Chains A and B, each alone.
Chain A
Amino acid sequence: GQNIDQPTEMTATEGAIVQINCTYQTSGFNGLFWYQQHAGEAPTFLSYNVLDGLEEKGRFSSFLSRSKGYSYLLLKELQMKDSASYLCAVNKGGGNKLTFGTGTQLKVEL
């Protein structure tokens, strides 16, 4: 199957840390991407994981556990501009053909 699940909405406070989870079915897995998307705009690439473990990029980190079909995106030192939709996407079978998760709308509040 293609189910890639994320929480629909999350709210966090400016300056805090938030973790956005993504679960997927493991068959044919060939890498997982995280994107940020503001309303009406194109998704922006944040991170890529293909091996188990944590990838850190500044305020953003992404973790993958292939055996559990689980990933999370960690955002630190939240800023108001981080309010956006966060999409995880799985590459199944190669060719960089991505199947997107349901998306998580993050709202950062003062």
Chain B
Amino acid sequence: GAVVSQHPSWVICKSGTSVKIECRSLDFQATTMFWYRQFPKQSLMLMATSNEGSKATYEQGVEKDKFLINHASLTLSTLTVTSAHPEDSSFYICSAPTGPARGNPFGSGTQLSVL
């Protein structure tokens, strides 16, 4: 149990376009989801906390207008990278809290490459 599905796995896009990443909890309801970004050979950096039915909470230094988060239902959160630029190229990954025994399962991640 406690599976998180993330889509797409890979995205290559042109500079200036927007990219939407979806994160779904498959067998449980998630009122909260976390979005992380990871650069090569670095650790995960929390970007924002997605809250079902309310605004997302962004970490310091993360542009809320650039990284739009929508948590439309108890099983779906989306991250949209708007007007993407090459410096936005990174591994984006979501996670849902399920209690410490199951260790906050993660989605499979999305590798974004902006040309």
Contacts and interface: CB of A to CB of B under 8 A. Distances in A.
Contacts of B101: 48
Contacts of B105: 45
Interface stretch (A13-21, A71-79, A90-98): A90-98
A43 B97 contact: no
Contacts of A43: 44, 93, 106
A50 B101 CA distance: 11
Given A40-B91, A41-B108, A41-B109, A102 B97 contact: no
Contacts of A103: 42-43
Given A35-B103, A40-B109, A97 B34 contact: yes
B75 interface: no
Size category of the binding interface on chain B: 20 to 34
Interface in B22-45: 32, 34, 36, 41-45
Contact of A98 (B34, B41, B91): B34
B46 interface: yes
B100 A99 contact: no
B93 A96 contact: no
A100 interface: yes
A21 to B, nearest CB: 15
Interface string B59-82: 000000000000000000000000
Given A42-B107, A46-B103, 13 more contacts: A31-B100, A33-B103, A33-B104, A35-B103, A40-B91, A42-B108, A45-B102, A48-B101, A87-B44, A96-B97, A97-B97, A100-B46, A103-B42
